[in-house]
Amino acid sequence: MSKKNIGAALTVIVASAAVATAYAATVTDLENDKHTNSLITEENKEVESSRSFVKSDYTKEVKNTKIAGIKRNSKKASQEIKQDIIIEKTAKTLVQPKIVKAEKKAEEKDLKEKEDKKLVAKQEESQDKVVSYDDKDLDDLIEEKAQQEVKDVVSYDDKKIDDLSSNKAKADQAPVATQKQVEKKVQVPVISDKFVNVPTLNIRASKDATSSTNIVRTIKAGDKLVGHVEGNWFVTTEGYISLAHLANYYPQDLVNQIKAQEEAKRLEAEAKKAKEAKAAEEARIAEEARKASEAKKAVEAKKAEEAKKAAEAKKAQEAQKQQVKQTVKQTIKQTEQVVEQQAINYQAPVGQGAQGAVNAASQFIGSAYVWGAADPNVGFDCSGLTAYAYKQVGVNLPHNSAAQFNNGYAVDVNNLQVGDLVFFSFGGESIDHVGIVTGSDGSFIHASTPQTGVRYDNIFNGSFQNAYRGARRIY
């Protein structure tokens, strides 16, 4: 309550006291009046108790006023007395409690400001008790209420004054009801700031924390809200937020903690992503290596198969050659045996041509190979054997295979006859070996090597066939 209102209230009380004093003086005069005194009963005398709260100096002051000397009108005086009593009682009833309550409110406000810093929960209780007063001045209010009570009280007429106490009792109850109406306050929400004090929090369209259908949106730690408290809820223009999860200060530690957690999650996600990318790259490289390995194995398998086939073909060819060789050897051996037997049983006479030369050469089967020799007692080389054989039938040939190739005339390999000379080249293009044919099948006698000496062979044998260079007919 403002000083102005308090002063107005005190003024009303003083004025009421003055009126009450005047009323007391008038009653005293009435008691001295015989006619009026007969109308006053013992019950009416209780009205005098209203003077108990007025000091003596006010009484003296009122008695000296002009009012005390005015001729009285009993009906009008009764009404004025009743009105003054009502005003006095109304002022005492309304003003005194408001002064006490205003002082109590000031104390509660100081206490609330202290408790608000410590316990947020007490703030709600304190805020619920905040009351705003009507802007109307208190003196106007008192006057208005007094006038209303006067209207509600039964008007005095020509009734006896003993009805005054009954009317006064009714008037005493009327201000009480008016006081309760005046004291009915209108709560004005106190607007304040709050901060979200949990990682996430929902703004709801209604005061129902059990439903998910009333969620307006979700807010996060540190978000600022502006609104007022209603019970366990904080009300904003968007909706309702649970007061238990709000704070009066910015939750820096919680925000820092959440940011640290989010950063840790981000780093963990990046590490996981990098790990997955690395694993994918390693898998790709492994797959490429696997494909390359399979391709290499396929190539190697193909090469191995080709090599195997080549080896098998070569082995088959070698087997075939070996078989041909064995056949040739068998044939040569048989031929040698026949020729040897013939040489034992028959000696060709000198002068019988090519056959005589073959017969002469056949006599030295098994003789030693001696390079540069043409002597039965020493041995022969290839050209030494052929020169010695043809010398026995009267034909002189040079002791050199390349030189002998220039004697006689050439014959086809498919038209060979006994006594024809056959020539080979084992070291290159030039002639370096010679033998004498013993049959049309290609068999011949020659001084082969130091290891084998004079022996039979066949020109169609693999090595001789490859080295074959031609044939000459001498006789």
Residues labelled as active-site residues: 382, 433, 446
Among the listed residues 459, 420, 423, the one whose alpha carbon sits nearest the alpha carbon of residue 436:
420
Handedness of CA 308, 313, 317, 322 (dihedral sign): positive
Question: How many CB atoms are closer than 10 A to CB 169?
Answer: 9
By C-alpha distance, which of 249, 261, 123, 256 is closest to 194?
249
Dist. CA 20–CA 104, nearest whole Å: 31
**Sheet of strand 192-196: strand arrangement:** 215-220, 200-204, 240-242, 233-235, 224-230, 192-196, 246-247
Sequence-distant (≥ 6) Cβ neighbours of residue 170 within 8 angstroms = 153, 154
* 215-220 and 379-380 beta bridge pairing: unpaired
Of 338, 332, 358, nearest to 347 (Cα)? 358
Those residues with Cβ within 8 angstroms of residue 462's Cβ, 6 or more apart along the chain or in another chain: 321, 324, 325
Task: Give dist(CA 214, CA 207) in Å, integer.
Answer: 9
Distance CA 468, CA 413 (A): 10
Q: Are 197 and 251 a contacting pair, CB within 8 Å?
A: yes
Q: Which of 313, 323, 361, 320 is nearest to 340 (CA)?
A: 361
Which ranges constitute the DSSP H helices of 346-365? 353-362
User: What radius of gyration, in Å, describes the C-alpha atoms of the chain?
Assistant: 77
At 192, which helix (H) or strand (E)? strand 192-196
DSSP tag of 371: T
3-state secondary structure of 63: helix
Q: Are 146 and 138 in contact (CB under 8 A)?
A: no
Q: How far is Cα of residue 190 from the mean position of the Cα atoms in its chain?
A: 45
